[in-house]
Amino acid sequence: MSAQPRPSTLTAAETAEPRAGDIALPLWIIVLLFLLLYWGVVYFDQYSGGFSPEVYMPCRSTAELAMYQPPAGAPEFAGGKTVYENVCGLCHGTDGMGKPGQAPPFVNSEWALGNPNRMIRIPLAGLTGPIQVAGQQYNLAMPAMGAALPDDDLAAVLTYIRQSWGNKASAVTPEQVKAVRAEIGNRTQPWTAEQLNAIQ
Residues 90 and 177 in one domain: yes
Determine the structural domain holding residue 41 and report its residue range.
Answer: 35-67
Share of the chain above pLDDT 70, in %: 74
| Residue 154: alpha-carbon gap to chain centroid | 21
pLDDT at 167: 87
Answer yes or no: is 152 within a domain. Answer: yes
- The answer on pLDDT for 69 being more than 70 is no
Residues 55 and 117 in one domain: no
List the Cα angle 85/88/91 in 5-degree steps: 110
Residue among 105, 115, 120 nearest 158 (CA): 120
CA–CA separation, 180 and 121 (whole Å): 7
Q: What is the mean pLDDT of the chain?
A: 81
Each residue's pLDDT tens digit, 51-66: 566 666 666 776 776 6
- H or E, element range at 78: helix 75-83
Residue among 177, 193, 195 nearest 124 (CA): 177
Residues 155 and 183 in one domain: yes
Each residue's pLDDT tens digit, 13-23: 566 666 666 67
Residue type, 1: M
Tell whether pTM > 0.85.
no
Given pLDDT bands bounded at 50, 70 and 90, which one contains residue 36? very high
Terminal-residue alpha carbon distance, the chain: 125
Domain count, the chain: 2
Answer yes or no: is 47 within a domain. Answer: yes
Residues 180 and 126 in one domain: yes
Residues 52 and 137 in one domain: no
